[in-house]
């Protein structure tokens, strides 16, 4: 095993425990992956994100063959689809975090723009989030639906299920998942009130100043 893979495993253990301890994942909900030069690391299926063991994290190769560690998450297709369509993605985080999942259950969430530009950081870290129709957890069609987006979105909401967020590396993907969750919480808190969103000009300025995702 390379030093790079060893470091990636250790970082997954640390950041997944941090997410779990702060309540972003409960039970065995959620899964996380990291891209390697020769494949991907994925959290094993049916584990608590707070209890990962570095050597048991699953590795699959470029062809999707399981080569090391425990059996990978049942959402393996979802993770592969992000890497296949977003060359800039180095990590993917899927959670059932409360507020983003709440938005995924509301019939009046706009499926083409689930998280309106409420604050600069959600624009900078998450971008425009689309909703994918409900299928059961682990259904390979989730991968097909993500591939159909052609890599245009860094994050999606799975209807009645939860968020999936990619980032250039694991730290970025985790930070973006946290930002999405907090913004979803604000949106639910502000529901029914007169919200002032960032103007299109303000959103453009953020993209020019900080780059697109």
Ligand X SMILES: O=C(CO)COP(=O)(O)O
**Residues with active-site annotation:** 75, 121
Site string for ligand X, 77-106 (x = CB under 6 A): -----------------x------------
Binding window for ligand X (CB under 6 A); candidates: 6-14, 52-60, 71-79, 146-154 = 71-79
Q: Does 46 bind ligand X (CB under 6 A)?
A: yes
What is residue 134's DSSP assignment?
Answer: P
Phi then psi for 56, rounded to 5 degrees?
Answer: -95, -5
**Binding span for ligand X by CB under 6 A among 11-19, 27-35, 166-174, 181-189:** 27-35
The pairs formed by 174-179 with CB atoms below 8 angstroms and a separation of 24 or more are: 174/15, 174/18, 174/19, 174/91, 174/93, 175/125, 176/93, 176/125, 176/126, 177/19, 177/24, 177/93, 177/95, 177/97, 178/24, 179/121, 179/122, 179/125, 179/126
Minimum gap (Å) between residue 78 Cβ and ligand X: 8
Between 86 and 94, CB nearer to ligand X: 94
Biggest alpha carbon distance in the chain? 54
**What count of residues does the chain have?**
213
Please identify which residue in the block is written with the tokens 């730290």.
171
Q: What are the DSSP E strand ranges found in the chain?
A: 31-36, 39-42, 58-61, 66-68, 91-94, 130-132, 155-158, 162-167
Nearer to ligand X, 11 or 101 (CB): 101
Per CB under 6 A, contacts with ligand X among 131-190 are 137
65/209 with CB nearer ligand X: 65
Stretch that binds ligand X, among 41-49, 62-70, 149-157, 187-195 (CB under 6 A): 41-49
Which of 18, 26, 28, 168 lies at the binding interface for ligand X (CB under 6 A)? 28
Nearer to ligand X, 121 or 147 (CB): 147
70 is a site residue for ligand X (CB under 6 A): no
Site residues, ligand X (CB under 6 A): 28-31, 43, 45-46, 73-75, 94, 137
């Amino acid at each position: 095993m390379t030093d790079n893979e060893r470091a990636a495993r250790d970082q997954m253990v640390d950041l997944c425990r941090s997410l779990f301890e702060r309540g972003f994942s409960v039970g065995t909900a959620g899964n996380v992956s990291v891209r390697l030069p020769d494949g991907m690391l994925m959290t094993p299926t049916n584990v608590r994100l707070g209890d990962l063991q570095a050597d048991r994290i699953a590795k699959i190769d470029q062809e999707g063959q399981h080569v090391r560690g425990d059996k990978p998450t049942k959402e393996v297709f979802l993770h592969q689809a992000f890497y296949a369509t977003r060359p800039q993605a180095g990590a993917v985080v899927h959670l059932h975090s409360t507020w983003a999942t709440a938005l995924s259950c509301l019939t009046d969430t706009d499926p083409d723009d689930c998280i309106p530009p409420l604050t600069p950081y959600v624009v900078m870290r998450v971008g425009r989030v689309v909703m994918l129709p409900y299928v059961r957890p682990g259904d390979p069609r989730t991968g097909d639906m993500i591939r159909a987006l052609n890599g245009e979105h860094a994050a999606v909401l799975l209807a009645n299920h939860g968020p999936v967020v990619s980032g250039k590396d694991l730290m970025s993907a985790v930070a973006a998942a946290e930002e999405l969750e907090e913004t979803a919480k604000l949106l639910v808190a502000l529901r029914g009130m007169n919200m002032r969103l960032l103007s299109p000009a303000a959103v453009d300025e953020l993209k020019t100043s900080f780059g697109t995702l």
